Amino acid sequence: MTPSHTKICGGVYVFLLMFYKVTAKTKGVLLMSNLSQIFGSNVFNDAVMKERLPKATYKALKKTIEEGIPLDPAVADVVASVMKDWALEKGATHFTHWFQPMTGITAEKHDSFISPTADGKVIMEFSGKELIKGEPDASSFPSGGIRATFEARGYTAWDCTSPAFIKDGSLCIPTAFCSYTGEALDKKTPLLRSMEALSKQALRVLKALGNTTSNKVITTVGPEQEYFIVDKKTYDQRKDLIMTGRTLFGAKPPKGQELEDHYFGSLKEKISAYMKELDEELWKLGISAKTKHNEVAPAQHELAPIFTTTNIATDHNQLTMDTMKKVALRHDLVCLLHEKPFAGINGSGKHNNWSMGTDDGINLLDPGNTPHENEQFLVFLCAVIKAVDEYADLLRVSAANPGNDHRLGANEAPPAIISIFLGDQLQDILEQLENGGATSSKNGGKMEIGVTTLPALPKDATDRNRTSPFAFTGNKFEFRMVPSSASIAGPNYMINTAVAEILSQVADRLEKAKDVTAEVKAILTEYVTKHKRIVFNGNGYSDEWVVEAEKRGLANTRTTIEATKALIAEKNLALMEKYSVLSRVEMESRYEIALENYIKTINIEALTMVEMAKRQILPAVIKFATNIAGSINTIKSTGVAADVTAQTELLTEVSALTATLKKNIAVLEAAVEKASDAHGDTYAQASLFRFDVFEKMGTLREVADKLETLVDEDVWPMPTYSELLFNV
Ligand code: ADP
Ligand code: MG
């Protein structure tokens, strides 16, 4: 057996090294020295701690960060004081506990460092207590019924595993957020808990397989972030974009993404300048922004950092989204993170590249050159396969939000079926395992390009598949369903916990086994046989797959509200409780919050539509109709026997559509009112919003979009898709 020794290259140093090579080659060494100076310059990272903290304090803090040993309050005092001095040097005046409530975005409340003295002056102070614990009022954050508004107290607790940083003149301290009674009110707490759960179970498996060197297993993630950029002036004229983040109206432009000329296309200067400044801001925050390019849809782009631990990557992704929006404004641009800002062209997602690695550098999902012999890899691979099959509903709900409903299981979208892509090589091994044992690995070989001056490239043993929601991509899985605007905490704590459970089942068996190798073989054969239904290597976007998946018994959960049922399914409540990731109460609260969020989102969208239709579109089309009528009268009054059939036909068509528009507005208004009044059962109310209000929004839009194609563009009250998509 040859366990894989491929090193996980997470971490700042490797990044800098790689960067050195690239920059030194292209721009000369001068720029590179600038870059290494700015990278992480706003982060209280390991290097800063090592340099500034007394040795004993540094050691104690490191023990807490790496081994989870509780922190001594005296140590916290020293750290706080050093942190404050460092922050003041960087020009900060305030500190804030930075946390991630269940709104999916981040929250911060700033306190200045000043403390008054007897002589009427101030000194700068920051204590260990202030570093460790904060007490923000929690009553205005979503809690899903965990707490009543009169129990306002909430606590934030320092998460020292994610470094503090400076943003907008404040020292930001990453924290977890919980209620007075100790329930998690945020996205970070369950993530941290799930990382511990996975580490513990994975280590048991590793030990049973004979590993004596690893002390910790770390889950890693590199999220590829997609986004749209539009011109600020154009954006300002669209109430829908301002209020909801997506266009609620808009006829299809003559050109969409069909020419595929935007993907990887040369960057426009304005975009390039934006991306450059964005990179720099992110680097200052220690975020290793690495890849940037144009995406498939016009005005769509992508940014990917180098992966790191799921905890830090989640913080970094939140900061990235925040920074993307802020920097865009400096360039008179607006960054749209919504999953589907425009109908008819691609929406945005976040590809959650996930893996597991040991503290001594083994990527547990690296197949190596001979995967069939790599016992350790196969065990972890099959554990993931089983986990995804058994907890597909949890993965599905982790990727569910109202915006993503347009990207999954909808008209223009791929089906919302969870399946795994493995590729030829692993598929072949799986088949061998099912038949009793794997004895060979297919090889990629070499790829001849047919031009003698070009090198023969080594061919990967497996192709990529862009249509799979959960694709194996070499040494990691890429969960592609994740919504572009959402926190990646949810998807990652779901994956971590589901995999932890299966690893615990594997460990139970291996720890008892007399012949570990034989038991491994038995486990692999069993897992493959029972869970091969989740593996699908074909075209995930095809209609045939929908039929095939149904035959296999795989769920196709089309809407967010249906997906939320997974949060209160008994098997999932039991799972989350078993690993103390989320208690029953905490799960139920997340179910409530998801539904409430759905209701509120659709309500805002529907009301925005009504307002735009009534006060912008209707007046515009009436004006246009009046213009035509006036023109017909004018022509007739000249006494010339001119043909006015064109004008008359247009007027008839516009008037008929205007009548329908008016009627559809009323129908939508009535539906919103009915749904809003339907208090009581949240699920039933959310269903009304989905299957009544949302449907009627579609009907209203159809007429308005038709009118847009008929009405004089000078009269149309808002910028069109062409202007929004091709204007930057
Ligand atoms: P592609 O678009 O071909 O999928 P990208 O390079 O855009 O590839 O993104 C791949 C992402 O996967 C990057 O963020 C990368 O750092 C991340 N990644 C690579 N290895 C791992 C790993 N072991 N664990 C988690 N993420 C990883
Ligand atoms: Mg990708």
Identify whether the C-beta of residue 61 lies closer than 8 Å to the C-beta of residue 79: yes
Judge whether residue 21 has pLDDT over 50. Answer: no
Task: Please tell me the number of the ligand nearest to residue 303's CA.
Answer: 1
- Tell me the two tokens of residue 242: 């301002």
For range 667-679, the mean pLDDT: 96
Per-residue pLDDT at 387 exceeds 80: yes
Q: Provide the pLDDT for residue 564.
A: 98
Distance in angstroms (rounded) separating the CA atoms of residues 403 and 340: 6
pTM (2 decimals)? 0.93
At residue 147, the pLDDT reads: 66
The residue type of 214 is S
- Predicted confidence (pLDDT) per residue in 247-290, tens digit: 999 999 888 777 778 888 888 899 999 999 999 999 999 999 99
Using the mean position of ligand 2's atoms as its centre, give its distance from the Cα of residue 144 in Å: 34
Rounded Cα–Cα distance for residues 223 and 482 (Å) = 9
DSSP 134-172: E--B-TTS--TTSS-TT--BEEEEE-TTS--EEETTEEE
How many of the other CB atoms lie within 10 Å of CB of 719? 21
Contact between 571 and 389 under an 8 Å Cβ cutoff? The reply is: no
Does the pLDDT of residue 410 top 90, yes or no? no
Query: 540-578: b or e for each residue (b if 16 or more CB lie within 10 Å)?
Result: beeeebbebbeeeebbbbbbbbbbbebbebeebbebbee
Tokens found for residue 248: 């609620």
Q: How far is the CA of 184 from the centre of ligand 2 (A)?
A: 32
pLDDT given for residue 150 in this prediction:
58
| pLDDT at residue 8, as a whole number | 37
The answer, yes or no, to whether residue 2 has pLDDT greater than 50, is: no
Query: Taken in order 480, 482, 484, 487, is the CA torsion positive or negative?
Result: negative
Enter the tokens of residue 163.
Answer: 């470094």
Residue bearing the CA closest to ligand 1, atom 11: 222
596 CA from centroid of ligand 2 (Å): 32
193-213 pLDDT tens trace: 999 999 999 999 999 999 999
Given a contact cutoff of 8 angstroms between Cβ atoms, the answer to whether 645 and 636 are in contact is: no
Distance (angstroms) between ligand 1 centre and the Cα of 476 equals 8
Q: Tell me which residue of 188, 233, 224 sits closest to 321, measured CA to CA.
A: 224
Q: Decide if 283 contacts 193 (C-beta within 8 A).
A: no
Cα(478)–Cα(470) distance, integer angstroms? 5
Whole-angstrom Cα distance, residue 503 to residue 382? 10
Angle between helices 310-330 and 188-208 (to 10 degrees): 140
Nearest atom in ligand 1 to the alpha carbon of residue 354 is: 25
Q: Which ligand is nearest to the CA of 264?
A: 1
Q: Hunting for tokens 């999916």 — which residue is that? A: 104
H-helix segments, 579-644:
584-612, 618-637
User: Structure tokens of 549?
Assistant: 């998946």
What per-residue string of b and e applies to 281-291 under the rule 16 or more CB within 10 Å gives b?
bbbbbbbbbbe
CB under 6 Å to ligand 1: residues? 8, 220-222, 224, 291, 304-307, 353-355, 363, 475-476
Using most ligand atoms within 8 A of CB, pick from 476, 482, 495 the residue to mutate for ligand 1.
476
445 sits in the region (left: phi over 0; alpha: psi -120 to 50; else beta) called left
Q: What's the pLDDT score for residue 449? A: 65
**Residue 18 has what pLDDT?**
41
